[in-house]
Amino acid sequence: MFSVVKGRELTRSKRRKAAARPDDRPLLKVAPDEASSSSLASSSLASWAPWFALLAAARPVSAEDLWWHAARGREVLTSMTVSPARRLLLDQTTNETDWLGGVPLYLLFEAAGFVGVFAGKLLLAAALLGLLLKLTPRRTCLLVLLPAAALTVASPALLPGGRGIGLLCLAGLLAWRETTWKRRWQRSLVLAGLTCLWANGGPLFILAPVVVLLSFDDRSEIGIRELAITLLAGSITPRGFSGWGDSLRLAAPWLFEQSATLNDTSFAPLEISEPLSWLFAGFSAIGLLLLFGASRQRPGALAWMTATAAGLANAWLAPLAAIWLCGEALAAMPSKANVEPSDEPSEETRRETGAERGARGRVSAIVDWGVGGLAAVLLLAGGLGAIGSPHGWGMGVAAELEPRLLEQSIADSPRGAAWTWDAAATGAAAWCGLKPLDSPDRALVAGRLRGLRLAVDDLRYERRNRYLRSDGTWGGWWLWTRRAEQPLLWIVVSSRDVASLRALESTGFRPTSIDSPIIAHASSYEPQMAPAIVRLLPIRNAVAHEDWTYTPPYHGGLFYDLPHFMRWDAEQRLRQGRVFWGMKLPTAALRAITTAEVRFQPLRRDCYLDLASREKRVLGKPAIWTEAVLNMLTHGQPSLDPEDATTQAIRDAARVYIADGPKAALPLLMSATKPADRYAAAQLQLELGGAVAARDTLRTLVEAAPDDPHAVRARDALRLLP
Amino acid sequence: MPFASSRNRLFRALRWIAAMLVVGISVWVSHQPSRLPRPITEGPTAIADRNQSVARCAACHQEIVERMKAAPHLNTLTPATAPQLAGRFAGTFSDSERQREFRFFDGAEQLHVTTDGVEQPVTLHWVFGSGSHAQTPVSVQADARGQWRILQHAVSWYPDHGLDWTLGATDFGGEISGGLEANGQTDVEPLGLERHGDWVAPAETLACFRCHSAQLDPQRLAEPGGVQPGLGCIRCHVNAETHAAEQEGQVVDGLPPMLGWEVSAREHVDRCGECHRRADQTPTDEITPQANHIVRFASVGLVQSKCFTGSQRRSQLRMDCLTCHDPHQRASRSAAFYSAQCQQCHQRDDVAACPQQPDSQDCIGCHMQKRETQPHLSFTDHWIR
């Protein structure tokens, strides 16, 4: 496709510069001996690049919009439509530009299932790597590490569809820019083809004219003509010229929406607390370092600024910005030709002393090693962050996007309108045949995101009924969901959205699964949904109030997917515990986290706060044991008042409980005889899965001390036990 | 050339400055803090004292404010410290059939209540209802997570009967053990504080206060200073502070304008329906002429009426809640008053007159009868038929 300058040939810009300013010299000249020693030049080193890139890309597909694109691709092929979102969503009213974005993904899935999707991701990473490496002929440590680091940052969008197509087209555009073309029409044709593909396949094609615009140079072959071609080619979509506005909304949502609307969505600005922001900031710093030592000052600086700003202001765009930064950095690297002595050195060069040349070489070496080191740190940080994380190394599709349990949970229920608000839930719902009201990207494009965001806020604050807001608009989520003029049968939520799970417990929508990564809640107002709801009731009761212990499911895993391979299941336990807590099953949540790991303690505190709330409603204050555990978790000591009613057994047991877990603490309480101690022992027995044992302990307590306040608590607890 | 060289350097510098500006502006704009709108009752301002708040309006609207003082809207929530409550509640209520007894007493200028099986007396914080139909005392308690819940007491005061069981009280402890009842455990024994009444979930608790107060701080529901009880001016005239400040000659730049009431008849009824219930959030299968319970929700019935739907089709006619009711004063008890309102339309040539008694002075006696929805509680049916 491209006739790329390779090896020792001069780059286009180098030739151009040489023709325009024969006496000019490269901005950074390196003495040949210094250059070779500083740049780690070696073809064997460069041959490691694919392996590093593979390592960076070898994580399960974690793009939230995976199933959304797959559903759109299926719709395009099965219904032969150019506006799949319109058919999939109840709210969608206009065509979308990127109607083809899901087709490759769907074809891959149809051909080889999850393996096909993962293979598509690897192929995409390989193609990206190939295009990026074409941007520079130099073989240095940067060449090995920089694209790999870029792939790490771009990982959330590495998908053979949607933004993934955008990644590929962006890298292709950068390679196009750095390529010398024999014929002008070839140049134009490739540019038009790339832009058209991007516009019809990926949502952020507004970046294409921006890249072209920032490549303008008064001596350049890129100018108004190329910009016009880009604008025209990008308009060949089902949305026509309006597509540019859609893409701008997606690329710079902060121009159109308040930050409060964007918070908690994929389009929020990068926050310091997110690991991705640190990776992105590090990557941006690499770009800056390279630009300072660049062989040419042209568009690089502006492009760096634009990419950095766009990525920082919109997390959804950060992966593309990373690839863009990588491309600009590689293109700005001093080329091998630059560091070689020219045949006819300039007067200035001839005057340059050996010491000055050596100094320049040292600067180059510092830049190389500095940038290489930073890229290595990024890779390492990305890799370490991946260990044990939901997006850790492995194959296939990330567990949190797994749609099969969702399919099972709704299998024998009617499909119909479903309210969703994040890309993962929307995609899974559409893939499983439900009819989502809206999707976040289409809502943003159509200006509906604020309404969606406010409705979600109303749900989380449990504001179901209509109420007047301070801005004169009407709030209340119930009527908002009913505007579709068909009964809302489902509310589908990602299991990590614990706040919404918890709020849904107070509504008429009941969960149909306790362990699906995407949980469908069925409407109890619709009689036909009853079987799906009723099926789960005994399961909910069993995990919280019967003899039961939690065993995390084994996902398999490979030797390099160490946490799964070694069955380090803390992350899985925590995830399930949070879901149970979200479903207002604090005892079940405690059963999922039975060890004393530090990462479990915040969830443990939340569970004990729930237990304390219930106890407080019965007798006006929490049980002594509950208070002791909460004191340990908050203040590091079981009792704030040495004179209070906390027994010595409870003081000791609470300390052991926090340090070593419930199993170690239970014997300390079993040997004690006071009602408070017995009540605490029963609580621990329940946590450890022994409902019958806990019941017996509580009955003994009620019989032994019927007038004690703990007997009242025991009778309250017994009402729930078998 | 030195000139060209310095010009290039200048361009380069300008380019960097421009680029830095791009980064700065985009990051600044995208990180601008903003707030989602909140319920009007949970304003960001401190909770104003009701008397002060109303007095500020009285400076210009004294006549309305005077009428308002006796209106049920302003008195729909009362702190349990109010002296007039002692006369209604102090005493004992016992039910021999259920073998339950509740003893109310005024201690330290606050109502308290005791019952068998609970050692400590329970402090009552608020009394809901103006007393036109009933008054129900509640306690509020923050749970361990800091969320407030109402303990809706099992005994209420009725104008005609004095103390009696609260309508709808489950006697099963409400939120805690109500679920057990739903699971088929009908012999659930109320324990501890559950013996006093029903616990209400945090969201419902806030919903109760939203319709019985003008402004509230969701973190301070037990304190009189955390709630401005009753529907004072600012409850319906949202952002009235801006209007008041304007009149007082203060600078109001940046303040939201006062919410106007120049709205359609349906929007008008829906605004009242925020508390009196909106028809569009009542399940359609519940809205039938036979359904007795929706009689309680005037705004639901009104929009089903032929009078209302007919007026919607004619631009020169309008019917909303204000046609018959002034929310600033107690509703009239005069049948003739309401008949006069009916005649405003039904004496027109283009509106059908009553075929039975076109000149009657008691239209509502036939067309809007009072119906008993629950023992002790009767409401006028606003589904005009």
Is the model's pLDDT at A365 over the cut of 50? yes
How much is the CA Rg of chain A, to the nearest whole Å? 30
Nearest CB to B37; choose among A469, A482, A619: A469
Nearest CB to B238; choose among A312, A472, A478: A472
Best CA proximity match to A521, nearest among B313, A513, A351: A513
Nearest CB to A301; choose among B16, B120, B259: B16
Contact A472 B20 (CB under 8 A): no
**ipTM entry:** 0.82
Is the model's pLDDT at A681 over the cut of 50? yes
Residue of B nearest to A296 (CA): B12
Mean pLDDT of the region A301-323: 88
Do residues B111 and B158 lie in contact, with contact meaning Cβ atoms separated by under 8 Å?
no
Q: What is the Cα–Cα distance from A493 to A502, expressed in whole angstroms?
A: 11
- Who has greater pLDDT, A78 or A30? A78
Is the model's pLDDT at A233 over the cut of 90? yes
Which range has highest mean pLDDT (A241-255, A344-358, B340-354)? A241-255
Scanning B145-184 for CB atoms below 8 A from A yields 145, 147, 149, 175-177, 180
Residue of A nearest to B45 (CA): A470
Interface contact B20, partner A, CB < 8 A: yes
Do residues A591 and B115 lie in contact, with contact meaning Cβ atoms separated by under 8 Å?
no
Q: Which residues of A touch B34 (CB under 8 A)?
A: 258-261
Interface contact A610, partner B, CB < 8 A: yes
Contact A712 B192 (CB under 8 A): yes
- The per-residue pLDDT for range B138-189, each reduced to its tens digit, is 999 998 888 899 999 999 999 888 999 888 765 555 555 555 554 555 556 7
Is pTM, for the whole model, over 0.90? no
> Residue with structure tokens 């950060």?
A318
Mutate to test the interface with A, among B10, B12, B36 (most CBs of A within 10 A): B36
d(CA A430, nearest CA chain B) in Å: 27
Residue of A nearest to B202 (CA): A462
Contact B27 A309 (CB under 8 A): yes
Do residues B351 and B311 lie in contact, with contact meaning Cβ atoms separated by under 8 Å?
no
Which pLDDT band holds residue A72 (cuts at 50, 70, 90)? very high
d(CA A664, nearest CA chain B) in Å: 26
Q: Which residues of B touch A631 (CB under 8 A)?
A: none
Mean pLDDT of the region A432-458: 94
The predicted structure's pLDDT at residue A642: 75
H or E stretch at A45: helix A43-46
- Rounded to the nearest integer, the mean pLDDT of chain A is 83
Is the model's pLDDT at A561 over the cut of 90? no
A482 DSSP 8-state letter: G
CA A453 to chain centre: 19
The predicted structure's pLDDT at residue A466: 87
Is the model's pLDDT at A433 over the cut of 60? yes
Bridge partners for B149 per DSSP: B141
Mutate to test the interface with A, among B10, B15, B23, B119 (most CBs of A within 10 A): B23
- Rounded to the nearest integer, the mean pLDDT of chain B is 84
Which pLDDT band holds residue A586 (cuts at 50, 70, 90)? very high
The predicted structure's pLDDT at residue A217: 66
Size of interface A-B (CB pairs under 8 A): 164
Do residues A232 and A212 lie in contact, with contact meaning Cβ atoms separated by under 8 Å?
no
The predicted structure's pLDDT at residue A382: 65
The predicted structure's pLDDT at residue B192: 84
The predicted structure's pLDDT at residue B190: 77
Contact B15 A622 (CB under 8 A): no
The predicted structure's pLDDT at residue B258: 82
Interface contact B45, partner A, CB < 8 A: no
Contact B143 A259 (CB under 8 A): no
Mean pLDDT of the region A560-569: 59
Residue of B nearest to A311 (CA): B27
Interface contact A472, partner B, CB < 8 A: yes
Interface contact A617, partner B, CB < 8 A: yes
- CA torsion sign for A714, A715, A717, A721 is positive
Contact A466 B270 (CB under 8 A): yes
Q: Would you tell me how many other CB atoms lie within 10 Å of the CB of residue B234?
A: 25
Q: Which residues of B touch A454 (CB under 8 A)?
A: 36-37
Both structure tokens of A472: 């004169």
Q: Which residues of A touch B38 (CB under 8 A)?
A: 469-470
Q: What is the Cα–Cα distance from A94 to A101, expressed in whole angstroms?
A: 16
Both structure tokens of B304: 């089903």
Mean pLDDT of the region B202-224: 89
H or E stretch at A468: strand A467-468
d(CA A66, nearest CA chain B) in Å: 26
> Residue with structure tokens 């087709």?
A103
Contact B19 A305 (CB under 8 A): yes
Q: What percent of chain A has pLDDT over 70?
A: 81
Is the model's pLDDT at A40 over the cut of 50? no
Q: Which residues of A touch B26 (CB under 8 A)?
A: 252, 254, 309-310, 312-313
- The per-residue pLDDT for range B272-302, each reduced to its tens digit, is 999 999 888 888 888 898 888 889 899 999 9
Which range has highest mean pLDDT (A221-230, A300-309, A641-650)? A221-230
Is the model's pLDDT at B309 over the cut of 50? yes
Q: What is the Cα–Cα distance from A502 to A514, expressed in whole angstroms?
A: 13
Do residues A336 and A253 lie in contact, with contact meaning Cβ atoms separated by under 8 Å?
no
Do residues B76 and B228 lie in contact, with contact meaning Cβ atoms separated by under 8 Å?
no
Both structure tokens of A347: 């007067």
Contact B39 A252 (CB under 8 A): no
H or E stretch at A492: strand A488-494
Is the model's pLDDT at A82 over the cut of 90? yes
**SS3 for A182?**
coil
The predicted structure's pLDDT at residue B357: 82
Q: What percent of chain A has pLDDT over 90?
A: 47
The predicted structure's pLDDT at residue A147: 82
Alpha-helical regions (H) of A81-204: 84-88, 103-133, 141-154, 163-177, 184-201
The predicted structure's pLDDT at residue A564: 58
Mean pLDDT of the region A262-276: 84
Mean pLDDT of the region A65-77: 96
Residue of A nearest to B25 (CA): A309
Scanning B121-150 for CB atoms below 8 A from A yields 141, 143-145, 147, 149
Q: What percent of chain B has pLDDT over 90?
A: 29
Mutate to test the interface with A, among B17, B30, B123, B180 (most CBs of A within 10 A): B30
The predicted structure's pLDDT at residue B213: 93
d(CA A563, nearest CA chain B) in Å: 34
Interface contact B213, partner A, CB < 8 A: no
- Who has greater pLDDT, A501 or A645? A501
Contact A466 B283 (CB under 8 A): no
Which pLDDT band holds residue A347 (cuts at 50, 70, 90)? low
What DSSP string runs through A270-309? Answer: P-TTSHHHHHHHHHHHHHHHHHHT-S--TTHHHHHHHHHH
